[in-house]
Structures are given as structure tokens and as C-alpha cells.
Amino acid sequence: MSGWDEGAVYYSDQAQFPDDAVGATADANHRRHTTLIKFKEFIRNFERDKNVFPYRESLIENPKFLLVHLEDLLAFDADLPSLLRSSPADFLPLFETAAAEVLASLKMKVDNEEPKTEEVQILLTSKEDSMSMRSIGAQFISKLVKISGITIAASRVKAKATYVHLSCKNCKSTLDVPCRPGLGGAIVPRSCGHIPQAGEEPCPIDPWIIVPDKSQYVDQQTLKLQENPEDVPTGELPRNMLLSVDRHLVQTIVPGTRLTIMGIYSIFQSANSPASHKGAVAVRQPYIRVVGLEETNEASSRGAAAFTQEEIEKFKKFASQPDAYKTVCSKIAPSIFGHDDVKKAVACLLFGGSRKNLPDGVKLRGDVNVLLLGDPSTAKSQFLKFVEKTAPIAVYTSGKGSSAAGLTASVIRDGSSREFYLEGGAMVLADGGVVCIDEFDKMRPEDRVAIHEAMEQQTISIAKAGITTVLNSRTSVLAAANPPSGRYDDLKSAQDNIDLQTTILSRFDLIFIVKDIRMYNQDKLIASHIIKIHASADAVSADSKVSKEENWLKRYIQYCRLECHPRLSESASAKLRDQYVQIRKDMRRQANETGEAAPIPITVRQLEAIVRLSEALAKMKLSHVATENEVNEAVRLFTVSTMDAARSGINQQVNLTAEMAHEIKQAETQIKRRIPIGNQISERRLIDDLTRMGMNESIIRRALIIMHQRDEVEYKRERRVILRKV
């Protein structure tokens, strides 16, 4: 959107003034006067409860602006809201004049001062539903509209003139010309009205000089509002809308904030835009002049701002059932067979733990991060797609097509103004929700490093092109990855299968190794399940049932996240402390036995992960206290996921029979004969040569793993080539 943060000054010989001073009829004057009186009466006399006058009190407490609910205005006078909706540019300034006059009279009564009129900004809000950004067309120009979206960019604050002070360069006469609000400019007359006296030169055409110091200004800022990700049709780019905010709305919004705004749908023509070129003089760019702004938090987004009393009663009744946890987990990805523990982990991720602010200003995250790593065709991507549909706020992306800037934030230079501005990425747009990253292993290492801060501190720090800021990214991360060789190889060590840095692994609360196990009975059950799903996919009743269950689950998740913030009980805290000490002791013993460190370190971060899981399990039951039962289940989930993945790094030499040890020793001897020190060979060729000599392939692979652990050989070129070092 070229020229998105530029205004302009226009010159014209047409006398177009927004005030009713020029060409206003007596009827229009009478109507405006009547409306002004009604606005004054509304501010003075609207009574919400007995002897409670909210707008009068609000003006006294904060004389700078007044937040008006259109529903209150409708209850007071049915005509006033319709006037504001149909002609907001005419009647909103009238409303502000009424507020300023009422404020002056109230001050005179309270302080016994002379009435002094000060400017009051009127901000509007309404409980009506937001419109789709795609449905706003030319028929809404100069009308009041309400839309919602995500702020992706914010310009610098500029001084916008409300009145331009002009001076004639010939006769020195002065003139104050009003500027149109928003991105509109001042329309300067082409001639001076001074009548020359005898001996005076007549004023030429365009004699006016703008005197900036004597003009009146207000602060103004422009924002870019993008459609919510869930509102964008599949395969289409998200739409942007330019917003103009002024006065007390300036510098209240940062990129990544979800907004619901009310404003006047307007048009402007930037001097630098292509539409201003010859042949396109009638083309204008749309924008919205904001007259009301509300941040939507994670609970109120997705149109779920209010829960009915009936819904709340149903939620509380469900949470009180003894099998509530089991029922919630059964609704997680019901089309996927098995993977019960993964479904429980996904449920914990959707509900999340409790976010905490410590007295010293440190913030502890409550969001749960989960990594699914393993064989292809094990429904990893299906879990990600389910979470994208079910989470209140979710963004789905693929690792191969995502850069560091796309995930975090980017600094972009505007084409017309040449200024830099900030645009938030996926983790900023998903603030308060979930980011699903598929093909996590295909990301470039430098791009993965960029999300370290976002996953633990839940902020994104930017210092580029003179812009230094911190954006919120309070999101859970659900990632899916494959091992380097494509499949999880049991003959390889965990370090070789989990080819991710320790720094990124430690930020995942749960890490699941998902394997495609070949078992006759299990294969038969999976095949029957999948065939049943395909056979019943076209049934209308089944579809409507699933949709209803998904909607219920989404609403329940929103309610739990909004209303419930559990903490550990004292007995649960003591139990968890003992469990953590025992886990660390076991991992230390394992490292001593095998002589190698675990691929996934068990640190204080993993202790915090169990705390978050315990809180999430309590939140599913709408319980404000996480007991020993929740801690036991959290430790069990942690054990079957992250602990099992860490233990998979046990040295393959442990518990070998004497016969196997002898065969491995023979394989090592043959490998050393085939590869001189410093030389390299294809792994496939080496294995083929030794198998032709009658050796078992699994024995050869075990021998290579042992030699690799002793640092005698090194893998290169994605493990396809073996280099002998000693």
C-alpha cells in the first residue's frame, strides 16, 4: 500500500468547507442546533442506575476524551445513533462540541471558574458484530463501520494540522483554513479576497503562504490492520486496511495487537500513489478514520467475547464429572487412531498452564510447547491441523517455507516515504494462541535460532534499521519433525536420530518419539479405523456432529483459559520436588553407565514443564488447585515422552551377549581394513561389501555406532559417507 503513512495538502478553487458556515440552509442549522442540545442532554442526564450519571462523571474524571456506548445512546434517543451511523463526519464534531460545552459548565459549577471550552475527543464503542474487511465497499464511504483484525504495522507520530494559518504575500492579510480530518488536506483558495485600494497592486493568483508556527495541530498516526488469519479464505492473500488514529489514540497500539475498531470509511489520494498519475484522477484509496478502538484479548477473540449463563452452567457441570479429563482427551483428533499420550499432551497444550508475574518483574510462561518427532505417516501433521482448527487463536506454517523474519518480525521500508516500519510475523500474530510448525527439521538452523527467545521469554526483540522494540509472542509451539534419514532408526543413537540442537530441545516441554511399529494386530486395527473413516466421510449427520463437538471444545478451552488460573498445592509441590530430584539422579546414573550425556538435557526448564502440565490438567477440570493426582499424571506424561526420548541415547553396547560382542568386534576389524585412516567411503557401499562376506547388516550398523561414539569414525554428507579418523 504505497503512501500508507502520508497525508497531503490540496489546492482548489472550489470553496469546499466541512463546516456549515458556507451554504448551510436554515433547516440544516435548526437540525444541527436541535441535535447539539440532544447530545448535551445525553451527557448530562443519561442515568445507568439510580442517581448514577456515568458520562457526566467520566468527563469530570478524564476531560480529554469520552467513551460513549452506542447502546446507551440508542436507549436515550433512537435518532442519535442513526445520525452518527449515516453521517458521522457531520455529527461527530457536533458531539465533541457538546461534550466540550458540558465540560465547561461542569467545571464552572465545581470550581467556580469562568467557563473555558476545551477540546474533548469522543470515542465510540458498540456490542454489534464486526463486519468482514472483504465486504466493505464503495457503498460504505462516509459511513460508520466496525471491523476487527491484527495490527501489522504502525507509522511514526506526525503533527496533523486542524487549521492552517495562511498569509497573503501581497497584502499581508491572514486566513485560517480548516483541514479535513483523517488523511484529508487543507483546501486553499486560489485568490485573495482583499479589494485593492488606489495605487495598490491586486493580489495575484495563489498568493497564500502557509505559516506553520501559527497553525493548529494534533498528533496523528497511521496503522495497518490485517484480516484475522481464520477469516482469510484458503489460497488467498490476507487483506490490509489503512487506519488513521489521532489525539489520544496515538501510540496506544503496537504491531501484533488484535483490534476491534469503529471508524468512518473514507477515501484519500496520496501524492505519491500511482492513482494520482494522469488518467486515474478519479481513483482514490480507501482508509478508515478511527473513532473507537478496543483491544481484543485471547478470550474475546474469534467472536467469543461473551459466554451465556447456560453455557457456563454446562461447562461447570462437565468439569465436575470424574472423567472430565478422559472425555476432553477423547475429543482431541478423534479421527486419529491410538496415540493416546500424544492426544493428552495436545490437550495440555490447548488449555495451557498459568502465566505468572514475579515481584522482580520476571515473567514465567504458562504455554506448553510440544515436539512430535518420528516416522512419516504417523499423523503428526494431522495433529497440527486439528490444533489449528480447535485452538482459539492459531497460525499454521511449514518450516521449509518459513524464514526467521516470517516467524518473528520484519522491518520493511515503505516505497513512497522511504521510512522503515515494523511488520509482525507468525508468532506475533498468534499472540495468545498456538503456532503450528510442520517440517520443523527442514528449517535452516539460523531460522530456528530466531525463535529461541520467543519460545521461552515469549517476546521478540527487534533492533534493525534504527528500530528497537520488544513484541509479545505469548504462544504455544506445536512442531512436527522427521529424523535426518527420514525414518527413526533404532540402530542409531538418539543424537543421530534427534538432529536438533540442545538449546531448542530444552525449550520443548514434551518431546514424543513417534514410531511406525509393524505389528499384525495393530496394523489390522489401524486399517479398519481408516477404512471406516473414509466410508463415513460423506455422511451429513456425522459431519454436523463433529463440527458441533469441535465448536464445544473450542468454547470450553476459551472459557477455561479465561476463568481458571491454577496453582500447585503444598503437597503437590513437595511431591514434584522429590520426583524431579529422582529424575536428575537417574539421568546422572545413566550418563555414568553409558559414558555419554543424554541428547535431551533434564534441567530446571523440565521441572517448570511438569508444573505447567499439572496446571493444564487442573484447568481442564476448572480447578484452581493442582493436586498430587495432576502432578502424578504430568510426571507420567513427561516420562513417556521426554524421558523416553532422553533414555534412547543409552549406549548400544549395554546388555550385549558374548556372541554379539564377538561379532561386533569382527565387524570393527573388517571396517578398519576397508577404510584407511583419513579416508572415506559410502556407508551403503561399505555395508554391501561386508554383507557379501556373510556379516549381518544390523551387526555392521551397531559396530559403526560404537566406533562413532568412540570418535573413531565420523558421518558426513547427511550420514551417507563415513570418514575414518583414528
Q: How far apart are CA 263 and CA 132, in angstroms?
A: 14
Phi, then psi, of 524 in degrees rounded to 5 = -65, -45
pLDDT (0 to 100) of residue 655 = 52
Residues 351 and 477 in one domain: yes
Q: Are residues 554 and 688 in the same domain?
A: no
Same domain, residue pair 634 and 673: no
Better pLDDT: 407 or 597? 407
Name the residue with higher pLDDT: 615 or 4: 615
Q: d(Cα 99, Cα 66) in Å, to the nearest integer?
A: 8
Residue 408 has pLDDT above 50, yes or no: yes
Report yes or no: 408 and 427 within 8 Å, Cβ to Cβ.
yes
Amino acid identity of residue 348, one-letter, is C
Is residue 87 domain-resident? Answer: no
Q: What is the pLDDT of residue 647?
A: 66
pLDDT tens digits, 642-670: 777 766 644 444 456 678 778 888 888 88
Of the given ranges (294-308, 316-330, 394-408, 676-690), which has the lowest mean pLDDT?
294-308
Q: Are 243 and 223 in contact (CB under 8 A)?
A: yes
The reply to whether 636 and 701 lie within a common domain is: no
Structural domain contains residue 622: yes
Is it the case that residue 541 has pLDDT exceeding 50? no
- Coil/strand/helix, residue 520: helix
E-assigned strands of 475-558?
Answer: 476-481, 510-514
Q: Are strands 363-364 and 476-481 parallel, antiparallel or unpaired?
A: unpaired
pLDDT at 274 over 70: no
Q: Facing residues of 145 across strands?
A: 263
Instruction: Judge whether 416 and 269 are in contact, CB under 8 Å.
Output: no
Cα(512)–Cα(409) distance, integer angstroms: 29
Whether residues 678 and 633 share a domain: the answer is no
Distance CA 620, CA 477 (A): 19
SS3 429: helix
CB of 646 within 8 A of CB of 587? yes
| Bridge partners (DSSP) listed for residue 476 | 434
Shared domain for 566 and 691, answered yes or no, is no
Q: pLDDT (tens digit, 9 = 90+) per residue, 211-251?
A: 888 888 888 888 888 887 777 777 777 788 888 888 888 88
* Coil/strand/helix, residue 681: strand
Domain limit, last residue, from 616, 647, 678: 647
- Would 511 be classed as within a structural domain? yes
pTM over 0.75: no
Three-state DSSP state, 505: helix
CATH no. for residue 715? 1.10.10
Check whether residue 393 and residue 501 sit in a common domain: yes
CATH number for the domain that contains residue 445:
3.40.50.300
Other beta carbons less than 10 A from residue 443's beta carbon: 25
- Tell me the per-residue pLDDT of 79-88, one tens digit each, with 9 for 90 and over: 777 887 888 8
Rounded to the nearest 10 degrees, the angle between the axes of helix 604-620 and helix 340-351 is 80
CA separation, residue 288 to residues 12, 157, 262 (Å): 24, 17, 9
pLDDT at 300: 40
Name, in order, each residue with C-beta under 8 angstroms of 723's C-beta and a sequence gap of 6 or more. 678, 679, 680, 713, 714, 715, 716
What is the distance of C-alpha 46 from the center of its chain? 39
Is residue 20 a contact partner of residue 29, using CB atoms and an 8 Å limit? Answer: yes
410: left (phi over 0), alpha (psi -120 to 50) or beta: beta
Task: Give the pLDDT mean for 548-570.
Answer: 83
Assess whether 476 and 351 both reside in one domain.
Answer: yes
Task: Find the mean pLDDT for residues 609-623.
Answer: 88
Q: Is residue 484 part of a domain?
A: yes
Instruction: Classify residue 336: in a domain, yes or no.
Output: yes
Cα-to-chain-centroid distance, residue 376: 29
Residues 429 and 564 grouped into a single domain? yes
pLDDT category at 594 given cuts 50, 70, 90 is low
Task: Tell me if 330 is assigned to some domain.
Answer: yes
Decide if 611 is inside a domain.
yes
Q: What is the pLDDT of residue 193?
A: 73
pLDDT for 631 equals 87
- With respect to residue 263, please indicate whether it lies within any of the assigned structural domains: no
Longest dimension (CA), the chain: 125
625 lies in the same domain as 515: yes
Which residues does 388 contact at the CB level (< 8 Å), separation at least 6?
Answer: 394, 395, 396, 434, 436
Last residue of a domain, one of 625, 647, 669: 647
The winner for highest mean pLDDT among 353-357, 410-414, 650-654 is 353-357
pLDDT digits (tens, 9 = 90+) for 505-525: 878 888 888 877 777 777 777
Q: Specify whether 556 is located in the same domain as 686.
A: no
* Residue environment code for 244-262, b if the CB has 16+ CB neighbours within 10 A, otherwise e: bbbbebbeebbbbbbbbbb
How are strands ordered across the β-sheet holding 394-398?
394-398, 434-438, 476-481, 370-374, 510-514
Hunting for cell 487549521 — which residue is that? 163
Concatenating the DSSP letter of every residue in 176-204 gives EEEBPSTT--BEE-SS--PPP-TTPPPP-
Q: Which of 647, 671, 705 is the last residue of a domain?
A: 647
The boundaries of the domain holding residue 684 are 658-724
Q: Alpha-carbon distance 136 to 148, whole Å?
A: 12
> Which H, E and C letters describe 148-175, residue by residue?
EEEEEEECCCEEEEEEEEEEECCCCCEE
Instruction: Tell me the per-residue pLDDT of 98-144, one tens digit each, with 9 for 90 and over.
Output: 878 877 777 776 555 555 566 788 888 888 888 888 888 888 888 88
Q: What grid cell was written down for 538? A: 460423506
Predicted confidence (pLDDT) per residue in 132-180, tens digit? 888 888 888 888 888 888 887 777 788 888 888 888 887 878 888 888 8
Cβ–Cβ < 8 Å for 30, 38: no
Q: How many domains are there within the chain? A: 2
β-bridge pairing 434-438 and 394-398: parallel
Helix crossing, 697-709 with 683-692: angle to 10°? 130
Does residue 669 share a domain with residue 600?
no
Report the length, in residues, of the chain.
726
Using alpha carbons, select from 351, 510, 370 the residue that is nearest to residue 435. Answer: 370
Look up residue 439 and give its three cell numbers: 517440517
